[in-house]
Amino acid sequence: MSAIQCVIQGNLPVKLIDPLTLQNILRNVTLQLTDGFELIFGTKTENMHQYYQIAKVAMVANMHHVKLLISLPLSAAYHLFTLHRIITLPELIYSEKFIQYPTD
């Protein structure tokens, strides 16, 4: 039950997927990646603990199955990216009262 609570919070618990199983899953994923993309920490055994820290997890379930959706960052060796910072502008609520929404 504690593993499910970790997943609900968006974390990947070791109790749910052990490091060896995670390593096998990630090796299969790397076979499907397009050229130029790779996992940020590779698939070596000594790097598996880092994936538990950065993975974002969601759970989808019905009466018969439970599926985990695991989001991990990729690195691109031959691609250039432009990073932008999102700035929210204050929004007028009512007379002289403004609100500004924070972004993550």
Give me the residue spans of the domains in the chain.
2-79
Q: What is the pLDDT of residue 104?
A: 66
Give the pLDDT score at 102: 78
Q: Which residue has the tokens 């691609």?
A: 79
Task: For residues 42-55, give the mean pLDDT.
Answer: 92
Beta strands in 8-76 (DSSP E): 37-39, 56-61, 66-71, 74-76
Could you give the CA distance from residue 76 to residue 82 in angstroms, rounded to a whole number? Answer: 13
User: What is the spatial distance between Cα 104 and Cα 90, in angstroms, rounded to a whole number?
Assistant: 16
Question: Model's pTM, two decimal places?
Answer: 0.66
Chain centroid to CA 7: 12
16-29 tens-digit pLDDT: 899 999 999 999 99
Q: What percent of the chain has pLDDT over 90?
A: 24
Interacting residues of 61 by C-beta distance below 8 A, sequence separation 6+: 67
Name residue, tokens 């997890």: 57
